[in-house]
């Protein structure tokens, strides 16, 4: 989650927006930096590796309830709620198959109706080949920041891909994120 500056995107949002405008749920395979879980913007944070499975399951249920509640509101009522970002960090590799199916409706709601619910998803991974959310909902991601991986003796190269165009990313956020490890 923290590698290569991925956490800096979330940190940037936390520092720029008040809790009344922005909130997030954070699901990671390992621990995210502790300040993310304690931050007032955080509606919940869970680690698949280091916390009890109930913690993770309860948080998924809480998120699902929040999205279903937002469905019942009018557009004007939803507009008064904080924008909600759901962050999955290296989630797919450790998520049990039973959970993938149990929460299929949640993922469908998030990925197919998220925009209308004032919710979005950020998926960060160092293992894209095991990321089931990206595989299932590839058509819903409007852009991606991808690494071609670290070549021997070199830093990884990051690419911003959107609408078929590809641009190499050069930013201090990458160095900062590597330093947060």
Is pLDDT of 43 > 90? yes
pLDDT digits (tens, 9 = 90+) for 148-179: 554 445 555 566 667 777 666 665 555 544 44
Which pTM was predicted? 0.80
How far apart are alpha carbons 97 and 76 in whole angstroms? Answer: 37
Least confident piece of the model among 39-48, 124-133, 151-160: 151-160
How far apart are alpha carbons 175 and 172 in whole angstroms? Answer: 5
The reported pLDDT for the residue numbered 178 is 46
Identify the CATH number of the domain in which residue 26 sits. Answer: 3.40.50.300
Query: Which letter does DSSP use for residue 93 in this model?
Result: T
Mean pLDDT over each residue of the chain, to the nearest integer? 79
Is pLDDT of 73 > 90? yes
Please count the structural domains in the chain.
Answer: 1
Structure tokens at 5: 């500056």
For 102, the domain range is 3-142
159 occurs within a structural domain: no
162 occurs within a structural domain: no
The reported pLDDT for the residue numbered 170 is 60
Query: In the predicted model, what is the mean pLDDT of residues 71-79?
Result: 96
155 occurs within a structural domain: no
147 occurs within a structural domain: no
């Amino acid at each position: 989650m923290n590698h290569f500056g991925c956490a800096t995107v979330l940190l940037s949002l936390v520092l720029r927006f008040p809790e009344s405008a922005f909130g997030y749920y954070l699901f990671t395979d390992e621990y995210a930096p502790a300040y993310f879980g304690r931050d007032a913007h955080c509606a919940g944070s869970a680690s698949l590796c280091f916390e009890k499975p109930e913690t993770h399951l309860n948080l998924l249920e809480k998120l699902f309830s929040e999205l279903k509640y937002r469905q019942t509101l009018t557009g004007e009522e939803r507009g008064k709620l904080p924008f909600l970002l759901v962050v999955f960090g290296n989630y797919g590799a450790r998520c049990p198959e039973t959970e993938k199916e149990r929460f299929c409706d949640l993922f469908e709601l998030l990925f197919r109706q998220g925009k209308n619910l004032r919710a979005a998803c950020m998926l960060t991974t160092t293992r894209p080949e095991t990321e089931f959310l990206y595989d299932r909902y590839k058509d819903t991601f409007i852009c991606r920041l991808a690494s071609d991986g670290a070549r021997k003796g070199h830093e990884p190269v990051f690419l911003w891909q959107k609408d078929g165009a590809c641009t190499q990313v050069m930013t201090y956020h990458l160095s900062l994120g590597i330093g947060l490890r």
